[in-house]
Structure 1
Amino acid sequence: MKLYFYRGVRPNFGDELNWWMWPKIFGNVFDESQESLFLGIGSILFSSHPQAPRKIVFGSGYGGYTALPVIDDKWDIRFVRGRMTAKALGIDPSRGVGDSAILLRSVVNYTGQVKRYKFSYMPHWESAEIGLWKDACQVAGINYIDPCAEVDFVLDEILASEVVITEAMHGAIVSDALRVPWIAAQPIHSQHRAKWEDWASALDLKIKWQSIQPSSLLEAVIAKLGQRGSLSSKLQYHGKPLNAIRHDAFVIRTAQQLQKVAAVEPQLSSDSAIRNSHETMLLEVEKLKADYPELVASA
C-alpha cells in the first residue's frame, strides 16, 4: 500500500506529517505498491488520481485546486477533513470528522512542555519561500517557525510556544490538537482559505481571521497577480532580487502588524470537540486494520 501525499518544491510541515505519523500508528506497512493508495493528511482529493488503484481516504480534504474526483467503487472513504469536503463529495456530513493530523494526540507527548517562546509565527510554506518573514519576526521579537523544517523540529517549536500565530493551516491544526492556543493569519493567497473553514467545521469552530500584509515586494506582486498565473510562477522562482527593493519598509511594516496580531486573544477548539474527533478517528483506525490486514504490523 502506497502512502500518498503532496510534495511541492520544498517539503513542508503539513504534508511531511504523513511519513512521520502514519508509521507510528500502523507500523512499517507502507511500500511503493500501486494496488492501493492511502490518502491521509492534505488537500489531496484530486481529479487526477489513477482509476485502477483502491483509494483509502483517511481524513483528507478537497481543496478546490482541481475538479472534484469521480467517486466510484475504487474509493473507500472512511472519513474526511470536514463537512465542506463531505458536502462536495456528496457523502454523509457525519464523515467530516476532522483533519487526520489530530491523531498526533496519540503519538506526541504534549503535556508538561517547557515554554521558551511567548509567541511564534509560522507562514505558509509558499510565503516562506518568497517573503521576508524571518526578518520580520526578528524585528517583532517573535520566534519564527520555518514550515519547511524537519517535522520533529517544528513540533518541538510549536509545543515550546505559548501562542502560535500561523498562516500555515497545519500550524493551526497541530497547535489545536496539542492544545497550544493559536491565532489565524489569513492566507495571503485566497485559494488557501477555504480548506481552513473545512477543518474548522468538523470542530464547530469559527475562525477569527487576522490580516497581515505581504512581507516583501516580491510577495506583494505575486499576491496582486494571483498565485497561479504564469507570470507569477516565473516571478516566484526568478524574482528574488525584488526583495532587495524597499526591504526595510516591508519588514518593519510586517513586524508592526505581527505585534498587533499578537495582542489578539488566541483560539482553541473545545476540549470536548477535539476529544470526540480524536476518539472517532481511533475507532476508524481499528476498523481499517480489521478490514485491511496488510495495515496490521508491529511498529
Structure 2
Amino acid sequence: MNLYFYRGKKLNFGDELNTWMWPKLIDGVWDQGNDSIFLGIGSIIFDFFPSEKRKVVFGAGYGGYTQLPVIDKNWKFYFVRGKLTAKALGIDEKLGIGDAAILLRSCVKHKVEKKYKVSFMPHWGSTSEGNWELACQYGSINYIDPCAPVEVVLEQILASELVITEAMHGAIVSDALRVPWIPIQPLSSIHSMKWFDWASALDIDLKPSQINSSSLLEAVVLFFHERNPKIADKFRRRGRFLLNVAPDALAQRATERLLAISKNDPPCLSSDTSIERSHDQMLSKLDELIQDMGRGSLNY
C-alpha cells in the first residue's frame, strides 16, 4: 500500500507518527507505487485523490481542509477518527472508533521516569510565529517541540506529569499513554473541529482553555487570520522581525497564562473503559485489514 500522510515545511509529530508506527504494526506492505492509498493518522480525507485508486481509510479524519470527497466503491472504510467525520461522510457512526494514534498503546510499552511537572506542546505552526520556548523557560515549564523526532516527543510526553497542548496529537498520545493533559484552543480556529471529532469517539467532554499570544508576530497573524487571510500570510512570510519586538514582555504574558492553566484548569483523561474499548476495536480492525490483504481484497 502507498502510505499517505501530510508533510509540510516542518516535520510534525502527529503526521510523522505514520512513518514510525505503521511499520511496527504491519511490516512489508508499504509500496509507494501501489494503487492502494492508505490513510491512517491525520486529517487527510481529501477530495483530490485519484478517483481510480483504492483509498483505504484506517483511522483518518476529515478536517474541512478541502471539500468532501465523493465516496464510491473505491473507498474502503475500516474506521475513522470520530463521529463527526462519520457524519460528514455519510457512513455508519459506529465506524467513528478514534484516532489511529491510539494504537501506540501496542507499540509503547516501556516505563519512563517522570521528570517534568508540567510540559507544554504548541501546534507546529505556532513554532514559527510564537516565542513558546522562551515562554516555557520563564515558567520552568518543559517545552515539547512538535517538530522534534517522534521518539523524542514520546519520551517527553511519558516523562511529564501533565501535558498542556495546542497540538492535537499531543493530547491524543498523552491520553492513549495515560498522561493527564489539558487542551488548548488552537490559536488558528481552522484546527478546532478535528479535536471534537476525536473526543467524540472517547466520550470526552472537551472544554479547551485559551492562551495568550507569545509574540507580536503571532498576535498580528491571528488578528488578520479571520479578517484577511492574505494579509496574515504576508506577515507569515515577511514579518519575522516582529518576533523580536518586546519578546520578553509578550513571552512572560504567555507564561503567566500557562501557569494559571496548569494550576486552575482540570486535567483531562478519557476513562480506562473508553480507551481500552477503542484500542480493542482498532486491533480487531487491524486483524481484518491483514486478512483482507492476504485474500487480495484490497486489489482489483
Give the TM-score taking structure 1 as reference length. Answer: 0.96
Q: 1:58-207 residue pairs with structure 2 within 5 A? A: 58-109=58-109, 112-207=111-206
Offset at residue 95 of structure 1 (A): 0.3
Distance in 2 between residues matched to 1:146 and 1:294, nearest whole Å: 42
Q: Structure 1 segments of 4 or more deviating over 3 A?
A: none
User: What is aligned with 2:8?
Assistant: 8
Structure 1: state its 5+ residue gaps.
none
Structure 1 distance, partners of 2:24, 2:114, is 26
User: Per-residue deviation at 1:129?
Assistant: 1.5
SS of corresponding position for 2:163: strand
RMSD over aligned Cα atoms: 1.3
Partner residue in 2 for 1:39:
39
- Shift, 1:155, TM fit: 0.2
2:294 aligned residue:
293
Q: Which amino acid aligns with 2:173?
A: V
Q: Matches of 1:160 and 1:81 in 2, distance apart? A: 26
What is the TM-score normalised by the length of structure 2? 0.96
Question: For 1:37, what is the secondary structure of its paired residue?
Answer: strand
d(CA) in 1 for partners of 2:97, 2:269: 17
Identity percentage over the alignment? 55
Counterpart of 1:276 in structure 2: which amino acid? R
Instruction: Give deviations 1:79-108, integer Å, cap 9, x for gaps.
Output: 000000000000111000000000000010
Task: Deviation per CA, 1:213-261: give whole Å up to 9, x if none.
Answer: 1111111111111178222223213211011112122111000001001
Deviates more, 1:273-282 or 1:28-37: 28-37
The match for 2:243 is 243
SS at match of 1:183: strand
Matched, 1:209 2:208: yes
In the alignment, residue 13 of structure 2 is paired with which amino acid?
F
Give the aligned residue type for 1:69: P
The CA deviation string for residues 108-158 of structure 1, in whole angstroms up to 9 with x for no partner, is 015x32100000000000011211000000001100000000000000000
Q: Which amino acid aligns with 1:258?
A: L
Number of residue pairs aligned between Structure 1 and Structure 2? 294
Q: Confirm or deny: 8 A CA contact 1:29 1:294 kept in the other structure.
A: no
Counterpart of 2:76 in 1: which secondary structure?
Answer: strand
Compute the displacement of 1:65 (Å).
Answer: 1.1
Distance across 2 between alignment mates of 1:294 and 1:49: 25
Give the match for residue 276 of structure 2. Answer: 275
Task: Say whether the 8 Å CA contact 1:34–1:53 is kept in structure 2.
Answer: no
1:23-63 per-residue CA deviation (whole Å, 9 max, x = no partner) reads 00001321211411000000001111111110000000000
Give distance in 1, aligned partners of 2:106 and 2:194: 24
Unmatched tracts of structure 2, length 5 or more: none
Letter in 2 for 1:25: L
> What is the rounded CA distance, in whole Å, between the counterparts of 1:141 and 1:294 in structure 2?
54
Please give the alpha-carbon distance, in whole angstroms, between the structure 2 residues aligned to 1:259 and 1:222. Answer: 24
Tell me by how many angstroms 1:294 deviates: 8.7
Distance 2:32 2:187 in 1: 36
CA distance in 1, matches of 2:48, 2:213: 32
Q: Note closer, same or farther for the CA distance 1:294–1:136 as it changes in structure 2 (3 Å cut).
A: farther
Q: Counterparts of 1:62 and 1:213 in 2: how far apart (Å)? A: 28
Secondary structure (helix, strand or coil) at the match of 2:59 reads strand
Contact 1:185 1:212 in 2 (8 A): yes
Give the distance between the partners of 1:162 and 1:28, measured in 2 at CA.
Answer: 37
